[in-house]
Amino acid sequence: MTELEHRRNFIKGVMLGSAALGAAAAGMFSDTDATSPKLGVRPAGAADRKKMAFIQWQPHTVPAAWSKGIEEVLKTQQTIDYELLDGQNKVEVQVSLMEALINQGASVIFLQPIDSVALAPSIAKAKRADIPVITLNIDATEAHAAHVEMNHYYGAMDIAKALGDRMGGKGEVAILNAPPGIVIRDQRTNGFVDGLKQHHPDIKVVSDQVADWDRKKAQDVLNTILVANPNLGGVYGVNDSMALGAVDVAKEKGLIGKMVIFGNDGEKDALESIEKGELTGTQYTDVYQQGRFAAAAATVLATGAVPASAFGEQGRLLMPYLIATKETVGEIQPAQRW
Amino acid sequence: MAGRYSILPLVGFFILVFAFFSFTATRFASATNIENLLSGFSFVAMLAVGQAFPILLRGIDLSVGAIVAVVGMIVFDLSLIFGVPGWLILPVALLAGAAAGALNGVLVVYVRLQPFIATLATLAAYRGLVYSISGRQLVPELSTTPLRDPWIIGLETYFDVGRFLGISSIVKLPWIPLSFVALLALVAVLQLVLSATRFGRDLFAVGGNLEGARLAGINVARVTVAAYAISGACAALAALFLVARLTTATEALGIGAELTAIAAAVVGGVSLQGGVGTVVGPAIGAFLLGVILLGLTLLGVSQFVQQIMTGVILLAAISYDRLLALRVRRAGPSL
Amino acid sequence: MIPAAIREPVIVGRGLTQVYGAATVLDDVDIRIDPGEVRALIGSNGAGKSTLVKILTGAVRPTAGTVEVVGQQVHLGSPSEMIGRGVACIYQHSNLAPALSVLDNIFLGRNPTRRLGLVDRPRQRREAQALLARHGIQIDLDVPAGSLPAVKQKEVEILKALALDAKVLLMDEPTGWLASADVANLHATIRKLKGQGVGILYISHMLDEVFAICDTMTILRDGRVVAENAVADISRARAIELMIGRQLAAQTKEASEARVSRMTGSVRLKARGLARNGVFSGVDIDLNAGEILCITGLIGSKRTELVRAIFGCESLDAGSIEIDGAPIAVKSPSEAIAAGIGLVPEDRHRDGLMLGLSVSENLMMATLGRFRRGLLLDRGGMATAARRLIASLNVKPASETRQVRLLSGGNQQKVLLGKWLDGRPGILMLDEPTVGVDVGAKAEIYDILRAARDEGAAILVVSSDIEEVLAIGDRVGVMSAGRLVSVHPAKALTASSLVTMIGEAA
Amino acid sequence: MSETTSISVASAWRLAATHALPVSIAIVVAVFAVAEPAFLTPDNLLGIVRQIALVGIMAAASTFVIMTGGVDLSVGPVLALAGLVAYFVLGAGYPVPVAVLAGLGIGLFIGLLNGAAIGFLDLPPIIVTLASLSIVRGAALIVGGPDLHSIRDQPIYSAIGTGSLAGIPLPVWIFAAVVLLLVFVQVRTPFGLLVAALGENERAARLSGHRTRITKMLVYGLSATGAALAGIVLSSQVHTASATYGPFGTELDVIAAIVVGGTSIMGGNGSVVRTVVGVLFLGVVSNGMNLLNVPIDVQLIAKGAIIVVALGLSARR
């Protein structure tokens, strides 16, 4: 995708998003039923209660925030039962949970797939059962109702650019990485490496080590990396926890301000650290909002008033993201911090 | 009959839990849900069945999850990168799993490592190997390319038993996945191996009394290597069905599967002290774990409470078994 | 009568030497067994008997030496090769697979198979039944071997060896667990095999048996052959002397003749109507301070179960126990120990010793409380106490820090005994205290028990060894089928009268 | 001449085999030092000890469990829960010692429950602690949710993990103190002897009048307390408490350190000192490979191979 396409997609996404929200609002009032003359008063019987569920990757801040956003919208609808299910970081568990939800006749399934291909057969199954699936952040190869994402690949490219700019276009960087096995990791790593190639070919990745998404491991690994690479000018943590681990090390070694550190996700601790001038930056998305959008689309779909086909082949909502740095972090309102 | 292990208490407990969810969770006792149970947990059962063999020898195989990933990745690479036809991939995959398992056995026998350490080392090494050979890293586009080879994808097939029997209009029977049929065949073959072949007798002898087996002229090395190879081959079989179900393989496939398999085997009555156990038990143990996951999900128990309940039911399963055993043993010597 | 060509020996070992680290366990030993010969192999513990047997069964590969079976040199260190050549062995310790049936155990490692490696069960059963019939043994072929009592397991071991149709049969303490009727049975079997031309090596501490059944004798001491004789050419006393050395032999003889009958002290342990459903019932015991009460009987007469119940390992269903006149209810070993009772169990490896721990730690295991200093353990005090005990028990080597695993059987048994002997004279129960212990160590253990008795301990010994019962007992009780049938002063008994009594009780 | 050489070679070989692990550590250190001289800088050596401190604390405390022939799989979630409990107690305004004690207390409590199920109900440790792994994780998630809870403005609490004394980080001191304490317990107390006795021969220990069940219970209590201590140190080091800490695999890291050190997984033979050597070995290997920027796949394969070679050598004894 070119930059232009990227932007076009983004605009399309936002439009679709607002349409979805509007439709959701409409949907709340369109729940008419010939047998019940009054709106919203009729206690919902067991039969017409709708079930929606979100299958997450594993307990983590990002899906938790999505879930909050989703719930915020759904709880305004008294006929919807919502629950959060745990994929236990295993594709096969996610598949089993998908099948359980299909069996239960859920109205909409939110899904944060661990893998694009692995969940595709289950999504196809859901489609056959007329259950719309809305994916979050990781798309599936099987076309489905809607996909709401913060683009990891382009985000990481932008991070590479921002990081390189601050390093003056030269020097050595290290990546604090996650072990392979989930596509986000690959997208972010590839985006970052490609971004450096494109924008700052003189910057060299001197170390790419696994720190298991974990702040403590990141501390240990970066400490070790610094022994071999005392001139390290930048660090990219594939998630914020690892970036904050790098900040811990930089603080201890008096490298704050000298070493450029970027994270990814944009959770509130990271934003706070940016404000304090410790973490250089991160890719931020309003994850609550992302959840709300997903939920809005879901309510529309669940009414049946707007069929999934109205979203075209597959609804696609690209969340706007921000490379949050000391200069821009102030734009993020407290209510948008998760 | 003291001393001979019976799987009846486990079957009883399984039925108890199954009945509980049938009454409390909507659509738990439905044909679709049973289909989900069979297709979602047959591969776990295969791992548990394989795990029984090292445990029967007083050993353990921690590397099964990593073997699943290695075999999965081999299938992925051969099919998507090298375009090898599926009918050739299937035997290669099984052989690769058996070889990976046999290497564990070799480390235990010839390098004389404790099984725990040997398979812990290969757990790391095999996972590293997966990362090395990952087609997803070598050719990034492939991470969004599903496997299409009919021989592999064809493993995810369901049989409409109801229609076959001509009773689909009267009662809705679950469709039976091929993986479950394969599991039944595997259990039947391995149970026969255990109870009716020379190798099976030798295996119980080595697990029950190593020195005695050696003095009886049993080739302990061969039995041990074979047991670990069986565990590896079962992991490979599980990997094939898993890959067929997912239409892809990931590097993280099978992480943590070793503990699940061991838990299923132990709940299934295979003694960690060696020399006592069946292969039917571990398979039932694995499906018990499936019943718990699906049951609690359909019951709408929150994910956190689910974890607690899973632990509690696991404890209950093993205590129940122990309680019955105690009652039977009451007359015998205790200490 | 038998042509010379056939008279060639069934097995010949030459120059067999085994070195472990710095220790030479077996030093240039030659051994030869002819067809139809029953050769005894005797020697004290540590003399190298077990090592020699292990070499002949292929369990270990010797440092040097060769073995020929029926004139053919064999590759050493492979059990399957020795079995294949027709060398079978009845081991001292159980070598059964507990979860497998008796039938499978008999054919362990060589189950007859059909296609696909499937076990040919009908054939296996046929052969086993023929074997049972031939040797007059009755046993359920289908129960798991692990569920059988020890004595039955021994029979399975014997069957396992007999099923091989061996040319050479090695028997390591084959009668250790057998009651006298079964011993007679076994001896009849041996004679039958002898008639068939099988060469037998018979290892035993029971000299009575050796003199009754063997033709020739090889005596080992410190890893060397010290004598080879026809049994007819050597006296019992001379054999003992050769085994353990002249001086020790004299002491043993003296001690066993110095048996005096005494009935001192008050009743320490008084039991009335002890019963455990389906096991034993109506047992009354009065155990006095300063006496040794032996309880004998056939294997399976529930003597072990009785002492274990008194010690709190198993629950009693009826009856009362008084210690020094005060009634107590013992529900666990720790309560029994608190009441002053000690138990030396029959299976020292399974129930008695911590093989990986030191001599001192094992000796103090039952009385650790004495060495508590607040939260700490008085290691110095333990070592001192241990050294004292080691000296008085004559444990060899005399090192309190040595791992018990490295001691010989007799010395291990002394350690096991010693853990109850330091401190106040209490109530001590011993279950088969000298099984698998050589003659020299046996005498020492008797001395230790007598000394404890003389200091006022109340001692109860369960034993199947008539010689032992008469050697150390002050009173002797006969137990049968869960009942204590009678108790007699030992001086009124002779070996033959006691054997008759046991037989009649059964 | 040639004979003396062969003897000295043989005895050197035997010496190497009896001390396989220390020898392996020396070899690995030498290899890394040649490949990257910075490996031997004091900074990095201290870094290694700091990196192994957490697993070290858990492994040392769990050694007794392995010695009794058991296993504790529940250390990961206990670590998480202890950090959370300390966080909430701090948040409620209690002083640091109370928070630390609360965290340790919850660990001890869970461990004693594990131990009671294993000691008194005779349930298999692997299943009990696996169940407990699941239960405690669920409980931690109920208490803390999946969120990261920042520990702010708690300088004293933060000092536990980040402070240093005499130039040596506090976690290292804590690790050293735990090891010394446990070595002392093992060698100088009746409890330590009882643990060894239990692992050697449980029946015999019971027949010697020891309360083996209570000993077992305490052993699991100790293990979980160690995990809780690690959890507190961790939450202090990363200024965060979360129910998701101590992820799947933590338990295997801990057990690996113990068994690689030479304590038998079947029980009996073992010691806290050996565990420390095991932790050190694994720590050095992983640090050196991070230093040389070895890719993760090669790292894992090399780690497996090094374990096989090092322990294969000691098995040759």
Residue A335 lies in a domain: no
With contacts defined as CB-CB under 8 Å, which chain C residues touch B215?
57, 59, 79, 89, 91, 95
Q: With contact defined as beta carbons under 8 Å apart, do B249 and B142 qualify? A: no
* 3+ Cβ–Cβ pairs closer than 8 Å linking A and C: no
- Does residue C196 sit in the same domain as residue C111? yes
Does residue B144 belong to the interface with chain C, where contact is any CB pair within 8 Å? Answer: no
- The candidate with the shortest Cα–Cα distance to D100, out of D142, D138, D156, D54, is D156
Which candidate in A86, A216, A225, A235 is best for mutational testing of the D interface (most D CBs within 10 A)? A216
Which candidate in D184, D193, D195, D317 is best for mutational testing of the C interface (most C CBs within 10 A)? D193
Query: Which pLDDT band holds residue D316 (cuts at 50, 70, 90)?
Result: low
Beta bridge partners of A318: A149
Does residue D92 belong to the interface with chain C, where contact is any CB pair within 8 Å? Answer: no
Query: Is the Cβ pair B136, A186 closer than 8 Å?
Result: yes
- Does residue C176 sit in the same domain as residue C296? no
Instruction: Name the residue of chain D whose CA is nearest to C343's CA.
Output: D207
What is the per-residue pLDDT for A25?
41
**How far B246 CA lies from chain D's nearest CA (Å)?**
23
**How far D244 CA lies from chain A's nearest CA (Å)?**
7
Q: What residues of A are in the D interface, CB distance below 8 Å?
A: 58-61, 63-64, 89, 177, 179-180, 206-210, 212, 214-216, 219-221, 223-225, 227-228, 241, 244-245, 248, 252, 267, 269, 272
Residue A334 lies in a domain: no
Range of the domain at A259: 152-285
Residue C445 lies in a domain: yes
- Residues 216..275 of B with a Cβ closer than 8 Å to C: which? 216-219, 275
Query: Is the Cβ pair C352, D269 closer than 8 Å?
Result: no
The predicted model gives A66-81 an average pLDDT of: 90
Q: Two tokens at C358?
A: 């030191």
What is the per-residue pLDDT for C476?
92
- Does residue C218 sit in the same domain as residue C72? yes
Does residue D16 belong to the interface with chain B, where contact is any CB pair within 8 Å? Answer: no
With contacts defined as CB-CB under 8 Å, which chain A residues touch D43?
227
Residue A176 lies in a domain: yes
- Does residue C52 sit in the same domain as residue C194? yes
Which candidate in A94, A104, A147, A193 is best for mutational testing of the B interface (most B CBs within 10 A)? A104
- Does residue A258 sit in the same domain as residue A182? yes
- The candidate with the shortest Cα–Cα distance to D241, out of D110, D51, D74, D88, is D88
Could you report the per-residue pLDDT of A167-178, keeping only the tens digit for each?
999 999 999 999
Greater confidence, A37 or C79? Answer: C79
With contacts defined as CB-CB under 8 Å, which chain D residues touch B334?
none
Q: Is C291 helix (H, G, I), strand (E, B) or coil?
A: strand
- Does residue C117 sit in the same domain as residue C162? yes
Query: Is the Cβ pair A181, B255 closer than 8 Å?
Result: yes
Query: Is the Cβ pair B251, A180 closer than 8 Å?
Result: yes
With contacts defined as CB-CB under 8 Å, which chain D residues touch C356?
196, 200, 268-269
Residue C272 lies in a domain: yes
- Does residue A31 sit in the same domain as residue A43? yes
Does residue D304 belong to the interface with chain B, where contact is any CB pair within 8 Å? Answer: yes
Q: Report how far residue D48's alpha carbon sits from residue D168's, in angstroms, rounded to the nearest whole number.
A: 12
Which candidate in D58, D291, D297, D301 is best for mutational testing of the A interface (most A CBs within 10 A)? D291
- Encode chain B (335 residues) as per-residue pLDDT tens digits: 333 457 888 899 999 999 999 999 888 989 889 999 999 999 999 999 999 999 999 999 999 999 999 999 999 999 999 999 999 999 999 999 999 999 999 999 999 999 999 999 999 999 999 999 999 999 988 988 999 999 999 999 998 888 888 887 777 788 899 999 999 999 999 999 998 899 999 999 999 889 889 888 899 999 999 999 999 999 999 999 999 999 999 999 999 899 899 999 988 988 888 888 899 999 999 999 999 989 998 988 888 898 898 899 889 888 877 776 655 444 333 33
What is the per-residue pLDDT for A41?
37
Is residue D140 scored above 90 in pLDDT?
yes
CATH number where A161 lies: 3.40.50.2300
Q: Report how far residue B25's alpha carbon sits from residue B37's, in angstroms, rounded to the nearest whole number.
A: 14
- Does residue A61 sit in the same domain as residue A162? no
Kindly tell me the sign of the dihedral angle through the C-alpha atoms of A153, A155, A158, A159: negative
Is residue D315 scored above 70 in pLDDT?
no
Query: Is the Cβ pair C79, B202 closer than 8 Å?
Result: no
Give the percent of chain C with pLDDT over 70. 91
Is residue A38 scored above 80 in pLDDT?
no
Does residue D152 belong to the interface with chain C, where contact is any CB pair within 8 Å? Answer: no
Q: With contact defined as beta carbons under 8 Å apart, do B242 and B153 qualify? A: no
Among C198, C227, C249, residue at a domain's last position: C249
Farthest CA pair distance, chain A: 75
User: Residue C257 class from Cβ within 10 Å (0-12 exposed, 13-18 middle, 19+ buried)?
Assistant: exposed
Contacts for D222 with CB less than 8 Å, ≥ 6 apart: D61, D64, D65, D111
CB pairs A-D closer than 8 Å: 79
Please, which chains are in contact with D (at least 3 CB pairs closer than 8 A)? A, B, C
Could you report the per-residue pLDDT of D256-295, keeping only the tens digit for each?
999 999 888 888 888 999 999 999 999 999 999 999 999 9
Could you report the per-residue pLDDT of A179-230, keeping only the tens digit for each?
998 888 999 999 999 999 999 999 999 999 999 999 999 999 999 999 999 9
What is the per-residue pLDDT for C493?
82
Is residue A244 scored above 50 in pLDDT?
yes
Query: Is the Cβ pair D192, C313 closer than 8 Å?
Result: no
Is residue C24 scored above 90 in pLDDT?
no
Q: Report the number of distinct structural domains present in chain A.
A: 2
For D234, the closest of A64, A216, A269 (CB atoms) is A216
Strands (E), C157-215: 168-172, 199-203
DSSP C172: E
- Does residue C87 sit in the same domain as residue C213? yes
One-letter identity of residue D49: V
Task: Tell me which of A7-21, A126-140, B231-245, D200-214 is least confident.
Answer: A7-21
**How far B253 CA lies from chain D's nearest CA (Å)?**
14
Look up the CATH number of domain D22-315. 1.10.3470
Exposure b/e, C165-191, CB count within 10 A at least 16 = b: ebbbbbbbbbbbbbbeebbebbbebbe
Query: Which pLDDT band holds residue C423 (cuts at 50, 70, 90)?
Result: low
Q: Is B277 helix (H, G, I), strand (E, B) or coil?
A: coil
- Does residue A277 sit in the same domain as residue A290? no
What is the per-residue pLDDT for C255?
52
Could you count the other beta carbons within 10 Å of the beta carbon of residue D99? 24
Which candidate in B39, B248, B258, B289 is best for mutational testing of the A interface (most A CBs within 10 A)? B248
Q: Report the number of distinct structural domains present in chain C.
A: 2
Greater confidence, C338 or D221? Answer: D221
What is the per-residue pLDDT for A36?
37
- Does residue A57 sit in the same domain as residue A168? no
**How far B29 CA lies from chain A's nearest CA (Å)?**
11
**Structural domains for chain B:** 8-325 (1.10.3470)
The whole-chain average pLDDT of chain D stands at 91
What is the per-residue pLDDT for D16?
67
What is the per-residue pLDDT for A24?
44
Beta bridge partners of A244: none
Could you report the per-residue pLDDT of C453-484, keeping only the tens digit for each?
888 889 999 988 777 888 889 999 998 888 89
**How far D44 CA lies from chain A's nearest CA (Å)?**
7
Q: Is A91 helix (H, G, I), strand (E, B) or coil?
A: helix
- Does residue A15 sit in the same domain as residue A138? yes
Task: Tell me which of A27-31, A99-103, A126-130 is least confident.
Answer: A27-31
Give the percent of chain C with pLDDT over 90. 26
Give the percent of chain D with pLDDT over 70. 93
Query: Is the Cβ pair B307, D138 closer than 8 Å?
Result: yes
What is the per-residue pLDDT for C424?
62
- Does residue A132 sit in the same domain as residue A264? no
Report how many helices (DSSP H) and strands (DSSP E) chain D contains, helices first: 14, 4
Could you count the other beta carbons within 10 Å of the beta carbon of residue C251? 14
CATH number where C277 lies: 3.40.50.300
DSSP A284: E
Q: Report how far residue C54's alpha carbon sits from residue C66's, in angstroms, rounded to the nearest whole number.
A: 14
Q: What is the ipTM of this complex?
A: 0.86
For C96, the closest of B202, B207, B209 (CB atoms) is B209
- Does residue A296 sit in the same domain as residue A269? no
Range of the domain at C81: 11-249
Residue C416 lies in a domain: no
Residue C359 lies in a domain: no
- Does residue C274 sit in the same domain as residue C240? no
User: Residue D235 class from Cβ within 10 Å (0-12 exposed, 13-18 middle, 19+ buried)?
Assistant: buried
